[in-house]
Structure 1
Amino acid sequence: MTDAPTHPAPLTPHLHLTHTADLDAPARAAAKALLHDVFEGNFSEEDWDHALGGVHALVREGDELIGHAAVVQRQLLYAGRPLRCGYVEGVGVRADRRGRGHGAAMMTALEHVVRSAYDLGALSASDTAAGFYPARGWRRWQGPTAVLSPTGLHRTQEEDGAIHVLQGDTPLDLTEQLACDWRSGDVW
C-alpha cells in the first residue's frame, strides 16, 4: 500500500498594520516591487514616496507579500478651512491573489484608522477600481477639484470624478470645491 501524495496546506493570508518607521528595508523593497507589478510599471518613485510616512496594511502568505495599502496624512481645503485627511495610497493585490477579499481586508483596517484619526478619508480611484470604493461607503466627489500649489489655487479638472471621500463627523457638500495640498508628482 502506497501513501497518497501529500500536498502542502495552502498558506493562510495574514494582515498586519505597521507604520513606515517600522518597515525594514526588505519589507519596503517588497512593497515597492509589488506595487510596481500591480500597476504594470506605471508606479513612479513619486508614487512610492506618496505612500510613505503613514500606516501600511500588508497582506502576507507565509513570507511573501501579496497585498499593500497605506494611509498618510494630508490636508484638504474645503469651504475655506483645512481638514485633516487620511489619504489612501498604494492599494494593490498581486494579480493571482485578487478576488479573495484581500483588498477589502486592507481597506477595512485602513478605514478604521481614517475614522479614528482624521476628519475624513480621501483617495483617487483608477477606472478599474472605481466600483470597489462606493460599495464600501466611499462617496465620489462631485464638485470641482483643485490643488493649493506654491503659486496659488489651481483647478485639477483631470481629477474631477476620480476623487472619493469617506466622510467623518464633518458635514460635506460633495458638490463644492475640494482642494488638496501640494506635493510632487500626481497631486491627487
Structure 2
Amino acid sequence: MIRTVHTSALDGTVLAAARELLEVAFDGELTAEDWEHCLGGLHVLAYDGEELIGHAAIVQRRLLHAGRALRAGYVEGVAVRADRRRRGVASALMGEVETIVTRAYDLGALGSSDEGLPFYLGRGWRAWTGTLRAFTPDGLVDTPEELGWILVRGDGLDLDGDLVCDWRDGDVW
C-alpha cells in the first residue's frame, strides 16, 4: 500500500521508522542534514501491512533556470528496505512522486546515487549537462562535482543551460 502524507500529519513513530529505514538503506551515511532535507513536504510511504518498507519525500525548492525562478519538486530520501527490493516498491513510490511533480511543480529534480542512476534514467529523468550552481552565504558558487548526478523531469528545460539551487545546510543539491 502506498500512502502520501505531509510531514505535519506524521506522528513521531512513523517519522522515526522512516529515518531508521533511510539510515539502514544508506549504510549509516544519512546525516542530520540529509534527514532535515526530507522534512516539510510530502512523504510517499510504502507499507506491507503495518510495516514501513519504502520511503520517498518531495520538498519544494526554488531552482533558477533561463531567467526564471522555478518551483521544483525536489525528491529526497528514496529508499526501499533491502529485503523488499526488486519487487516494484521503488517504482510504485516514484510513480506517485512523478504524478505529484507533474501536477504541482514546474519541474522535478533530484540528486542520484550511483545505484539509483540507472533506475531514474530508465523512468525518464534526465541528467543535467549544463552548469550547476548554488546560492550560498558566500555568493553564487559553481558545483561541477554534481554534473551527471543531478536529474530533472519536466518540459521546456535547456539541459545545457544554467541551473541554480537555493541554499541549505549539508549537501546543497
Which bracket does the TM-score occupy, shorter chain normalised? over 0.9
Say what the alpha-carbon RMSD is for the aligned residues.
0.8
Secondary structure (helix, strand or coil) at the match of 1:132 reads: helix
In the alignment, what sits opposite 2:168?
183
Q: Aligned letter for 1:53?
A: G
Gaps of 5+ in 2: none
Flag the structure with larger Rg.
Answer: 1
Within-5 A mapping of 1:31-110: 31-110=18-97
Q: Aligned letter for 1:186?
A: D
Distance 1:30 1:62 in 2: 14
Distance 2:58 2:34 in 1: 13
Within-5 A mapping of 1:1-188: 14-168=1-155, 171-188=156-173
Provide the aligned length of Structure 1 versus Structure 2: 173
Moved more, 89-98 or 72-81: 72-81
Distance 1:172 1:114 in 2: 15
Secondary structure (helix, strand or coil) at the match of 2:119 reads: coil
TM-score (norm 2): 0.98
Identity of aligned residues (%): 54
| Structure 1 ranges of 4+ moved more than 4 A | none
Gaps of 5+ in 1: 1-13
TM-score (norm 1): 0.90
